[in-house]
Structure formats: structure tokens, C-alpha cells
């Protein structure tokens, strides 16, 4: 009998990450990270039995500690979901945006998952058989411009390329890498502009006519975790209600 597989979900205590952790907990041992809200992480732990670990993915020492923590608990890593990310603390026109905000978002949204993937891939490569999977949660902002949060868009565009680089490098090793691009998803990250988005969706912004829910993204991760896309290394999954479609 195969042992229960193991998954790491970064930013797993809230929003999209929480939905992913809850979904995966049905079939996997889950290690869910959190940065600040321990109460949210503890409620996830109580609900699902997931292991929780405080981790700022922008910190090299935190990333190493996360992988070492998981290694002490489980013999192998089957799935990494790079979900942790942040929006700018303040939306500013690109003409007024600060280097501090740029550096913070690049460190958290791009550098963190890129180098955590290096740590996780190293673990996967050293424990056979090589059947691991890695998911990058990016955003429609990887290609859709918002000039009042340029640093976010740039970080997600870079993350999309990071996913492609890792997909190409690891495919030959038996490790499949995927990118999921959520659209407008109902989380606290968009709470300040949720009403505006709802109005634009009602006006036709999203072909399917509704805002996405975290569970929509979790179901895409489920398909990857179950091996349904194993011959689609590097595939980009648009979970956006058809936002990416272009029409005349």
C-alpha cells in the first residue's frame, strides 16, 4: 500500500491557499505555511489536521527551515504549491510607486517561490521514485496591466517565467511543474476593490459572469495532484472565468 503523499502549501492559512490546503488534506499530509495570522493557521490545523509552520517566503533562512521541518515529519515530498504572495501595501500610480514596495513584492512573490522550488526540487530529486509535482499560483496580472500596482504585475510576470524555467529543467527528471493563473478571486486581498470588480464583471469583464472563489483554484490543484495532467508539463491553467479570452 502506498503511503499517504505529502504536500507543502505556502500561504495556506487564508484565501486561495486555505482552500487548496483543505482540498489536499483529503488525500495528503499537508504542511501549510503562514506569515502573520497564527490564529488562521491554527483554525486550519484544527479543521484539517494539517501541520502548520510560520514562514516568510522572502527569507532564505525561513525557506530552508520550512523544508527541514517537513523533512523531519515526512520521508518524501510529492507536491509543492507556491501560493504565498502579497499585494502592494498601497496602490500607487507607477509614476509615484516606491522602490521599497517593488523590492518587497519581488522578494515575496518571485524570489521566494523561485528559490523555495530549488529547495523542494532538491529534496524530490534525492528521494525516488521521481514523481513529484510543483505548482506556481501566479495571476492574470502576469499579463494584464494595472498601472496602479505595477510591482505586483511585474512580480507575477516574472513568476510565470520562473514556472516555465523550472518546468523545462525538471521535466526530464520526472518532476512536473505547472502554473495556475487565477483571475478575480473573492479573497481579502481584493476586499477594498471587490465592489468595483463586481460592477465590471456585471458589465461583461468576465465571460462566465461571476467572480471566482478560492475553491475554483483548489479544484485545479486537485487535478494536478491526482496526476490528471501528468503529460502536460509546463501547462498554464487559466482559472479566470474566461477572462483570458479575446473577442471582437
Whole-model pTM: value is: 0.95
Report CA-CA distances (Å) from 43 to 14, 52, 138: 10, 10, 26
Does residue 152 have an active-site annotation? yes
Task: Provide the terminal-to-terminal Cα distance of the chain, rounded to the nearest Å.
Answer: 54
- Mean pLDDT value of segment 127-155: 95
pLDDT (tens digit per residue) in 2-54? 589 999 999 999 999 999 999 999 999 999 999 988 999 999 999 999 999 99
- Mean pLDDT value of segment 174-194: 93
In whole numbers, what is the pLDDT of the chain averaged over residues? 96
Say yes or no to pLDDT of 1 above 60: no
Domain ranges in the chain are 6-236
pLDDT (tens digit per residue) in 53-108? 999 999 999 999 999 999 999 999 999 999 999 999 999 999 999 999 999 999 99
The answer to whether residues 10 and 17 touch, using CB atoms and an 8 Å cutoff, is yes
Q: What is the pLDDT of residue 191?
A: 83
CB within 8 Å of 158: residues ≥ 6 apart? 106, 109, 110
- Which letter does DSSP use for residue 149 in this model? S
The residue from 34, 152, 197, 231 that is catalytic is 152
Q: What is the pLDDT of residue 69?
A: 98
Q: What is the pLDDT of residue 8?
A: 98
Q: What is the pLDDT of residue 2?
A: 58
The answer to whether residues 220 and 180 touch, using CB atoms and an 8 Å cutoff, is yes
CB within 8 Å of 221: residues ≥ 6 apart? 20, 23, 24, 81, 135, 180
d(CA 35, CA 16): 15
pLDDT grade for 131, boundaries at 50, 70 and 90: confident
Q: The domain 6-236 is classified under which CATH number: 3.40.50.720, 2.60.40.1180, 3.30.420.40, 3.40.50.1000?
A: 3.40.50.720
- Mean pLDDT value of segment 143-171: 98
d(CA 158, CA 171): 20
Nearest of 11, 18, 112, 102 to residue 60 by alpha carbon: 112
Say yes or no to pLDDT of 130 above 90: no
Q: What is the pLDDT of residue 188?
A: 86
Instruction: Report the number of secondary-structure helices (H) and strands (E) in the chain.
Output: 8, 7
The answer to whether residues 49 and 31 touch, using CB atoms and an 8 Å cutoff, is no
pLDDT grade for 190, boundaries at 50, 70 and 90: confident
- Mean pLDDT value of segment 130-146: 96
Angle, vertex CA 94, rays to CA 89 and CA 98, nearest 5: 50
Q: What is the pLDDT of residue 189?
A: 84
Amino acid at each position: 500500500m502506498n503511503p499517504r503523499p505529502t504536500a507543502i502549501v505556502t500561504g495556506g492559512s487564508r484565501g486561495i491557499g486555505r482552500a487548496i490546503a483543505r482540498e489536499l488534506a483529503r488525500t495528503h499530509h499537508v504542511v501549510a505555511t503562514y506569515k502573520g495570522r497564527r490564529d488562521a493557521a491554527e483554525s486550519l490545523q484544527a479543521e484539517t489536521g494539517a501541520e502548520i509552520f510560520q514562514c516568510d517566503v522572502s527569507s532564505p533562512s525561513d525557506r530552508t527551515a520550512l523544508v527541514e521541518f517537513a523533512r523531519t515529519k515526512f520521508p518524501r515530498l510529492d507536491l509543492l504549491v507556491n501560493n504565498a504572495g502579497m499585494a502592494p501595501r498601497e496602490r500607487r500610480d507607477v509614476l509615484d510607486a516606491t522602490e521599497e514596495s517593488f523590492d518587497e513584492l519581488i522578494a515575496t512573490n518571485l524570489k521566494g517561490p523561485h528559490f523555495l522550488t530549488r529547495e523542494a526540487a532538491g529534496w524530490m530529486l534525492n528521494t525516488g521514485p521521481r514523481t513529484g509535482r510543483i505548482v506556481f499560483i501566479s495571476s492574470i496580472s502576469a499579463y494584464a496591466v494595472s498601472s496602479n500596482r505595477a510591482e505586483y504585475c511585474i512580480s507575477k510576470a516574472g513568476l510565470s517565467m520562473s514556472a516555465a524555467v523550472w518546468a523545462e529543467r525538471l521535466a526530464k527528471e520526472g518532476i512536473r511543474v505547472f502554473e495556475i493563473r487565477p483571475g478575480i478571486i473573492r479573497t481579502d486581498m481584493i476586499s477594498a476593490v471587490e465592489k468595483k470588480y463586481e460592477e465590471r464583471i456585471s458589465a461583461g469583464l468576465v465571460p462566465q459572469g461571476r467572480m471566482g472563489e478560492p475553491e475554483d483554484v483548489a479544484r485545479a490543484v486537485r487535478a494536478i495532484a491526482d496526476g490528471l495532467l501528468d503529460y502536460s508539463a509546463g501547462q498554464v491553467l487559466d482559472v479566470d472565468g474566461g477572462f483570458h479570452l479575446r473577442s471582437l
